[in-house]
Amino acid sequence: MYHNLRGFKYLYRKQEKNRGRITIAKSNSDEVNPPEFKPLDDGVSPRAPCKVIFPFLSSPPFSVLGVDMRIADNKKVHNTGRFKNSNLIVRRNKEFIIDIRFNRPFNKMQDNVEVEFLIGGSPNENRGTYIIVSFGKDIGEMIWKCRVLNTQGNDVTVGITPDPSCIVGRFRTFVAVVSGLGKQRTPKNPDTDVYVLFNAWDPADQVYLSKESDRQEYVLNDVGVIYNGEFNNMSSRPWNYGQFEEGVLDACLLVLDAGKVPLVYRGNATEVVRQGSALMNSQDDDGVLVGNWSGDYSIGTSPTAWTGSTEILLKYAREGGVPVCFAQCWGFAGVLNTFLRCLGIPARVITNYCSAHDNTGNLKTDIMLDEDGKVNKSRTRDSVWNYHCWNEVYMTRPDLPQKFSGWQVVDCTPQETSDGLYRCGPTSVSAIKDGELSYPFDAKFVFAELNSDVIYHQIDKYGKTKILHVDTAYVGKLIVTKRINSNQYEDITSNYKYPEGSKSDKQSMQMAESRGVPLRDYEPPAEAGVDIQLQADTVKMGEDFKLTMYIKNQSSKRCTIDATITGSVVFYTGVTSTTIKQETRKATVEAWKTEKLLIDIRATEYMPHLVEQSNLLFVVKGSIEETGASLTTMRVVTLRTPELTIRVSGSPRVGKAFTVIVEFRNPYNFALENVQFRLDSPGLIKTKFKSYKEILPGGVMQYTESITPLNPGKRVLIAGLDCARLRQPSPHPPE
């Protein structure tokens, strides 16, 4: 009967009727407005708008001639002056002032005036989508506040205060005069639309921040730094958040509409943050960015090429909600940060170094080594990301016990589905620290990213496994964010973790266990009495370097070590690629002494095999001849790509052109082809592109741009370079 299944599916979709059910509004851009004139006896009149003539009135009825939203003044006091948007933008629970001009003086003993704010396609007072405030003779109950501040001639100045938990979005404004005949409204006018945002300045708002310096950074700063690299060799990437750029606020509201987030939830910061984390990735819901870790970015923009969020959000909006290609974690975190700051939610980007990606939430990251010391790719299913970026938002959590308010983790990189969709959080940072993992959302997943144990297993020739070594300190090594009013990082590890091995740390692990995290049920092998470590200095891509292996004998007996060092290329996600080197070493270490072995790594060994982001993983698998005890460790080495330099000639002044020079030297002995530069500066220019077909070995590219600032203020220049060969030098292995 149903041969054409696809057709049938559409058919039943259409048939999902709800005559006995109620539907709810899910779009800010839908619009249903009340009629300009609504007679009193509404029950029996036709519902269509109608013009009414008043033939029996001797003088024209009291009516509204105009409304002035006083945009510039209001924006100044609402901290929204930097938005490149011609409409009024206000924050919740703070009064804004409008002027209404009537056709005669307003008489408060006689006249009834209502100001209405409507959002979405089915405005309803019980849902917060239809707000009515009134002044004059007959004042009803009001959720938003309203007061007359001044009357002068035919003009009335009115102060209106949105309630502290009202819906965030774009409201349409109407002014209505209510008489014995009915309501006469002003016609629809998009110029009087008002955007309402979260208010970090107001103690009654869910996102209140008490310090002005925090608000300046976490709500108003439109540039930032995202940290990457590895924990003891950090790199960083500037990022243009650009939340005030033209079109960005509308794009953020479009994201919510595209994600069908019910309007009634949009006053709840917890809900907006959770939905935001789902909607920044394209999975499930055609969100903003398509994740891609394949190395092949030919049909879109490489994840490493972006310099900021503006270009991404505007492209998404311009194309009507088609996901933008491509991103990896920092891109996701950067765009989510823009979305949050734009709507007024305090937010920052976090980097967690050595972030476990635990597929099952069992707090174990299993690294399976073959007998020869190589990582067994088919049996190693967990990975430790060299770094992983997520966001924090600052808010109270009225749904949770009070102590869990404050910074919350939110992560939009599509790692795991959380409760069916790709998203993660918000989850309280302090709850993570204390192992209180029962509370929503996704506390267990974040806890595992920070606290998993790395377990090295050996697989024998029969396929049987045994545990070689357990490293409880490898994961969640360092957690950082940009410092306020600085480009340096701030170490916030202690927000997330008690010191390894401390009493509080143990209590936190116990609490986590009582909340369903599986016990550490494996038997760690006896302590070997010998500790091994790998180290390397900063390494430039394309150069030879030395890896140092320290062997620390912490016992009272001399020992002899056999060790195999295996080097492989690794994605930043911790998944290994080609093996580039394997070397066996033997060393004898006296009691209480430390030996140092140097391993030479040549550029010719690793250059042909690199994947993007240029990381090498070295694993040591060794044993002590005297006792047979196992020794294992691993270390990621990040290869630095050549840097861009930006210089500015002259001191920039408003209305006066200055010159920016972006310079790059190709340090390699091969030519770089199809090199694209981006130059970006929020508030100053839109992203500028420049392409070069080829930069020869040793060649220098110098790109000059002339810029004329139109507004005063501190500005940041961000330049980026994208070149497939620097991401993945050939020969690229076929797939």
CB 562 within 8 A of CB 586: yes
Q: How far is CA 169 from the centre of its chain?
A: 20
Nearest CA to 96 out of 170, 168, 165, 149 is that of 149
* CA distance between the termini of the chain: 42
Q: Which is nearer to a copy of itself, 212 or 371 (CB)?
A: 371
Q: Which is nearer to a copy of itself, 2 or 56 (CB)?
A: 2
- Site of tokens 């970006």: 680
Helix 269-279 / helix 248-258 crossing angle, nearest 10 deg? 90
Residue 318 C-beta: closest distance to a copy of itself, Å = 10
Residues 271, 345: Cα–Cα separation, whole Å: 12
403: tokens are 């102590």
Q: Output the CA torsion sign for 413, 414, 418, 419.
A: positive
Residues 363, 384: Cα–Cα separation, whole Å: 12
Residue 230 C-beta: closest distance to a copy of itself, Å = 16
CB 293 within 8 A of CB 314: no
Residues 441, 257: Cα–Cα separation, whole Å: 22
CB 432 within 8 A of CB 407: no
Q: Which is nearer to a copy of itself, 141 or 604 (CB)?
A: 141
Q: Could you tell me which residues come within 8 angstroms of residue 127 by beta carbon, excluding any fewer than 6 positions away? A: 24, 25, 263, 264
Residue 477 C-beta: closest distance to a copy of itself, Å = 20
CB 148 within 8 A of CB 6: no
DSSP string, 555-608: SSS-EEEEEEEEEEEE-TTS-EEEEEEEEEEEEEE-TT-EEEEEEEE-HHHHGG
378: tokens are 């088919």
Residue 271 C-beta: closest distance to a copy of itself, Å = 9
Q: How far is CA 463 from the centre of its chain?
A: 42
Q: Which is nearer to a copy of itself, 72 or 519 (CB)?
A: 519
Residue 624 C-beta: closest distance to a copy of itself, Å = 23
Q: Which is nearer to a copy of itself, 288 or 718 (CB)?
A: 288
Residue 680 C-beta: closest distance to a copy of itself, Å = 21
Residue 392 C-beta: closest distance to a copy of itself, Å = 20
Q: Where are the beta strands (DSSP E) in 402-556?
A: 406-410, 417-418, 421-422, 427-428, 453-459, 465-471, 478-482, 489-491, 530-535, 539-540, 545-553
- Site of tokens 């204390």: 434
Within 13 A of 448's CA, how many CA atoms are on the CB side? 26
Residue 264 C-beta: closest distance to a copy of itself, Å = 5
Residue 621 C-beta: closest distance to a copy of itself, Å = 15
Residues 293, 279: Cα–Cα separation, whole Å: 19
Residues 571, 328: Cα–Cα separation, whole Å: 12
Helix 310-318 / helix 248-258 crossing angle, nearest 10 deg? 60
Q: Which residues are known catalytic residues?
A: 329, 388, 411
